[in-house]
Chains A and B, each alone.
Chain A
Amino acid sequence: MIEIKECTKTFDEIRAVNQVSLDIGDREVFGLVGSNGAGKSTLLRMTAGIIRADSGEILIDGTQVYENDMAKGRVFYISDDSYFPANYTPQDLLRFYKNYYLGFQVQRFSKLMKQFHLDEKRKISTFSKGMKKQLLVILGVSAGTKYLLCDETFDGLDPVMRQAVKSLFASEIMNREFTPVIASHNLRELEDICDHVGLLHQGGILLSRDLEDMKFHIHKVQCVLSDKEKEKELAKELEVLKIQHQGSLLLITARGTRTEIMERIRSKNPLFCEVLPLTLEEIFISETEVAGYEIKNLLF
């Protein structure tokens, strides 16, 4: 697992990452969300061992990552704005990486290249932005590393390719020890792929939760109650995150299991009661608003 312990990184007067602590478990897709400048890339670069934390430590399977070739050998980093050596073809890049990642799966690389309809002998400089991203993902997967750090990798991929990459990650996780960490400023992008999401804001971690857990413990219910008193009682009984009124319709976002919440509402004899699906975005908005942040202003 990747353990990030109270990491801080400052660039001149700007504190890019501030006392961040995170655990990234094995075989889960970790989403790192945050607005521009939240510190996602810096955190990933520190995790990849490119830059050193001013304080705190980052451990890859229990060992420090900075200037540790053993630890770095378990990580493949795909940066937001990737560099490809001049005149290189995917085959050249394969040869290049083969010398660094000794578990590089050459056949898998070729197979994936075919699946993604990418020409191994074509110069990378002629690839589109999306094709370059696909190539990087294929390289990252073929490198055979346990951790794949993707910085805004889904940005630029069309929906079909995004789905293909998601499937690829899923199959990798099924077949071997593989943990992708995906940083993005777009929550919707991560919604259907991540198991766990960490939210970064102004260098600090706002929350880090398991998505299933979050979805299990937060629910949105719409109901119609007969009088205002019952609404007040309900608000006291439930761990309400948010209450909205749409005419006589009451929209409640509350923490708790579906059964617990419905039992409480039904006890107030509502005229109408129904559980609504919650998007990841809504969960985050609710959670962060409680924490005192206007997350809508931060992310979207």
Chain B
Amino acid sequence: MKSKIYSSDYVKTTSKGQVWIPVFLAIGFLMAFPVSELMALGNWFGMNYESSQIELLYERMWTQRFMTAGLMVIFAAALINGINNFWYLYSSKKVDFYHSLPVKRPQMFWHKTYVGVLYYFVPYLVMAFLSICIGAMRGFFSLKLMKLAVVMLVLHLLMYLLLYFSVVLVICMTGNILMGTLCLAAVFSYGPVLGRLISLYQSTFFDTFYETNYGLLKILEEEGSPFFLCKSFLDRYAYGEYGTLLAVIVVLMVLIGAASYFAYVKRPSESTGKSMIYRWSEIVIRLMVVIPSGLGVGLIFYMLPNQQGRIVWWIFGMLAGTVLVHGIIEVVYQMDFRKFLSHKLQLVLAAAVVAVCALVFKKDLLGYDTYLPAYDKLEGINVGMDYIPFNDNFMYVEKNDDGTYKIEENTWINGMPELKGLNAGLSQDIYSSLESIVAEQEPYMAAYDDGYVSHGFEDRYIIPIKYALKSGEAVYREYRVGQDNMRKLLKACYEEGTLKERKFAFLNIEDKYLQWVRGTFCDGESYVLFQDDRDKMTALLEALKKDTEEADADVLLGNPCASLYVQYENIPLEQSAENILSSAPGMQNTGFVYANVQIYPEFKRTLALLKETGYPISMDDVELEYVRVTYLVKDQDGNYIQGETEKYDSPKELDDFKKCINYWIHESSNISVSIKTKNGRDEISVGLIEDAIPEYIQANMERAENGEMQGEVSDKEETFDDGKM
């Protein structure tokens, strides 16, 4: 029998009482497209952007603003239409009504999908057309814009179908409203929540965990649900990097569409009212929820107490969480409190999996902390240097062919998986220093004594490393690295990679953008240099450029004798919507660059110019009044507290100190040194060059470390508890 369910007459009849849906969606799209467009255009014209800039911004609107705003309405549309068309499956009365009609289930499915698309597409099309008209009226109409509008329409339709079929699948798989609502919430949040949980476990139990998303965790957290996948896709689409995700969306849409089709066609009418329609899905969902819940509750209990008893509470939490969530699911499944502990075998299975997962994290059975890719699988590494005190702060600058500049922050390690930014490259030296770094992690972590670090492991630098693999993947780790290995790694990086090139790239910026140079000298005082002599300022940077070109890794890792803070302003940036919006309206699209570089004794040209300023570039040039040394001792709990404080002011002592004081050296963990110069107003903290520390100071440091020195209650406490086991 040929039914007429696709006829306009039938659609008109069945739309009775449902007209609110397209009307509601029309309002949504009206806000997302024409209203949003009018507001943006009004702002741009009002803010005196140039017409070329507005044109660029308007194009951007079709790839970013409309896409994102549209997604929110699409999500609402998919939810409303999916529920409206298939909600009847939760009522046996309605099921009898619809399923007694002389029409096959596949036909019914496609008819409902057709209505669902119609309710979405008509208001969408009207509002998108209205937006095009508004743009055209304001002078924005081109083939490129038309193409962008069509692409937006197609992409939104794809995303709508993905979200719509996800909703339909949930409804077809569940038998009552409670389960449907819970499963809908799970479909749109399970992946990100699971990703976050794994991430939390990794940060808690793995010493080398680095807080960034990559690999499976990135997929789970950013693309682990249909909505977040669409969101992630739009983020990438705005920057033209969407090919893979588009393919994923298409494939997933087809798969979920097929799954929802079969779930609907095969759904037994009599199953209405049950929690889950298909028995196998009950087990799968139970395990998918119970296992992470057990681990999650365990982690909460693990976090609550102090170090002592954590493991016991952790085990208790996992056990309680597993049993509780299993019981709740059983009660929801069977709508009977007496069934709380039914399916004991599955409970035991879930508990066993929770135990295995816990063991994997606790004992690092998968070798997370000892991971080091094989040399032949590595393409290169990136090293994060934000926390390395003796390294300089800088921004990377690159000049474009059109005279504009590209400026990058020094936070490159969180970038894309490809090797961008500070590529340290790869060499046998780098790899060998990485091996040493990985090897020193275990003894370092073992040195923790109830959360406090033991002697010999205090002076560690935290460095994140990105391993870029030849397979295209990236793996991140964060290491606690000792001075020796740190220097060894940096030396290898300077020699092999782009560290040096990128670090001093700012020296290629045209002089006209240079604003000022501030120097910090070995007495810790800072001054603006050559304020009234621009030629000298330019010459200083030219000298610095030559010195850095000649400097090798050993020089760049030496002890500095001065530092320069250089600032450039009004640098023209490349024309992009982001740059336009980040600039003041009506102003030229410009940016600024700063760099803080250290000057080493080998930088002869630079030092020669600095000498002309008269400021001290050697401690011999400094007139010391006294040196104050505070020794730090450990209390019973292992905290560092203030010990004895000595003031050294005799000429001999001051001469001894002049040989070892360096303003740029990080102070040792059990000594605190400050100096007062005759010209200075305040005491300034400094570090000591270890090899040159006078013997009498070393003797006191040993006394402090061996507990032979009395401690005082002090504000200065250094704890090393980062919560890790």
**B78-112 residues at the A interface, CB under 8 angstroms:** 91, 93-97, 99-105, 107
Chain A hits for B5, CB < 8 A: 99-100
Residue contact A99 to B16, C-beta cutoff 8 Å: no
Distance, CA A81 to CA B17, complexed state (A)? 22
Distance, CA A100 to CA B97, complexed state (A)? 12
Chain A hits for B10, CB < 8 A: 95-96, 99
Distance, CA A101 to CA B7, complexed state (A)? 14
Residue contact B16 to A92, C-beta cutoff 8 Å: yes
- Nearest A residue to B274 via CB reads A12
Could you give, for residues 145-173 of chain A, a 1 whenever the CB lies within 8 Å of some chain B CB and a 0 otherwise?
00000000000000000000000000000
Chain A hits for B100, CB < 8 A: 45, 48-50, 72, 75-77, 79
Residue contact A52 to B268, C-beta cutoff 8 Å: yes
Judged by a CB distance under 8 angstroms, whether B3 is at the interface is yes
Chain A hits for B449, CB < 8 A: none
Distance, CA A99 to CA B98, complexed state (A)? 13
Residue contact B93 to A79, C-beta cutoff 8 Å: yes
Query: In the assembled complex, how far is the CB of residue B174 from the closest CB belonging to chain A, in whole angstroms?
Result: 17
Query: In the assembled complex, how far is the CB of residue B259 from the closest CB belonging to chain A, in whole angstroms?
Result: 19
Secondary structure dominating the interface of A: loop
Judged by a CB distance under 8 angstroms, whether A11 is at the interface is yes
Given contacts A72-B102, A73-B102, contact A45 B16 (CB under 8 A): no
Interface size on B, residues (CB 8 A): 29
Residue contact A88 to B268, C-beta cutoff 8 Å: no
Query: In the assembled complex, how far is the CB of residue A220 from the closest CB belonging to chain B, in whole angstroms?
Result: 41
Residue contact A102 to B101, C-beta cutoff 8 Å: no
Chain A hits for B97, CB < 8 A: 79, 82-83
**B424-474 residues at the A interface, CB under 8 angstroms:** none
Could you give, for residues 265-279 of chain B, a 1 whenever the CB lies within 8 Å of some chain A CB and a 0 otherwise?
000111000000000
Judged by a CB distance under 8 angstroms, whether B612 is at the interface is no
**A114-153 residues at the B interface, CB under 8 angstroms:** none
Query: In the assembled complex, how far is the CB of residue B274 from the closest CB belonging to chain A, in whole angstroms?
Result: 9
- Nearest A residue to B99 via CB reads A50
Residue contact B13 to A83, C-beta cutoff 8 Å: no
Residue contact A72 to B101, C-beta cutoff 8 Å: yes
Could you give, for residues 16-47 of chain A, a 1 whenever the CB lies within 8 Å of some chain B CB and a 0 otherwise?
00000000000000000000000000000100
Residue contact A99 to B3, C-beta cutoff 8 Å: yes
Judged by a CB distance under 8 angstroms, whether B14 is at the interface is yes
Query: In the assembled complex, how far is the CB of residue A92 from the closest CB belonging to chain B, in whole angstroms?
Result: 6
Could you give, for residues 84-102 of chain A, a 1 whenever the CB lies within 8 Å of some chain B CB and a 0 otherwise?
0111100010011011111
Distance, CA A75 to CA B105, complexed state (A)? 17
Judged by a CB distance under 8 angstroms, whether B4 is at the interface is yes
Chain B hits for A67, CB < 8 A: 104-105
Judged by a CB distance under 8 angstroms, whether A51 is at the interface is yes
Residue contact A69 to B104, C-beta cutoff 8 Å: yes
Chain B hits for A278, CB < 8 A: none
Judged by a CB distance under 8 angstroms, whether B2 is at the interface is yes
Query: In the assembled complex, how far is the CB of residue A14 from the closest CB belonging to chain B, in whole angstroms?
Result: 11
Judged by a CB distance under 8 angstroms, whether A70 is at the interface is yes
Residue contact A51 to B102, C-beta cutoff 8 Å: no
Residue contact A50 to B95, C-beta cutoff 8 Å: yes
Chain A hits for B1, CB < 8 A: 69-70, 72-73, 102
Given contacts A69-B102, A77-B100, contact A82 B13 (CB under 8 A): no
Judged by a CB distance under 8 angstroms, whether B402 is at the interface is no
Chain A hits for B101, CB < 8 A: 72, 100
Judged by a CB distance under 8 angstroms, whether B682 is at the interface is no
Distance, CA A77 to CA B16, complexed state (A)? 23
Chain B hits for A77, CB < 8 A: 96, 100
Residue contact B16 to A88, C-beta cutoff 8 Å: yes
Chain A hits for B94, CB < 8 A: 83
Chain B hits for A98, CB < 8 A: 4
Judged by a CB distance under 8 angstroms, whether B9 is at the interface is yes
**A236-289 residues at the B interface, CB under 8 angstroms:** none
Contact of A81 among B4, B93, B99, B103 (CB under 8 A): B93
Residue contact B3 to A100, C-beta cutoff 8 Å: yes
Could you give, for residues 475-504 of chain B, a 1 whenever the CB lies within 8 Å of some chain A CB and a 0 otherwise?
000000000000000000000000000000
Query: In the assembled complex, how far is the CB of residue B100 from the closest CB belonging to chain A, in whole angstroms?
Result: 4
- Nearest B residue to A87 via CB reads B17
Residue contact B9 to A50, C-beta cutoff 8 Å: no
Query: In the assembled complex, how far is the CB of residue A85 from the closest CB belonging to chain B, in whole angstroms?
Result: 7
Residue contact B96 to A79, C-beta cutoff 8 Å: yes
Chain B hits for A86, CB < 8 A: 17
Query: In the assembled complex, how far is the CB of residue B26 from the closest CB belonging to chain A, in whole angstroms?
Result: 21
Distance, CA A83 to CA B16, complexed state (A)? 16
Given contacts A52-B268, A82-B93, A82-B97, contact A87 B3 (CB under 8 A): no
Distance, CA A247 to CA B93, complexed state (A)? 54
Residue contact A45 to B103, C-beta cutoff 8 Å: no
**When A and B form their complex, which 6 residue pairs have the shortest distance between CB atoms, in order from nearest?**
A73-B102, A72-B102, A73-B1, A77-B100, A87-B17, A83-B93
18 contacts between A and B (CB under 8 A): A45-B269, A50-B99, A50-B100, A51-B268, A51-B269, A67-B104, A72-B102, A73-B1, A75-B100, A75-B102, A79-B96, A81-B93, A83-B91, A85-B16, A95-B10, A98-B4, A99-B10, A101-B102
Q: List 12 additional contacts besides A82-B93, A100-B102, A100-B103; criterion CB under 8 Å.
A: A67-B105, A69-B3, A70-B102, A72-B1, A72-B101, A77-B96, A81-B93, A85-B16, A96-B13, A98-B4, A99-B13, A100-B3
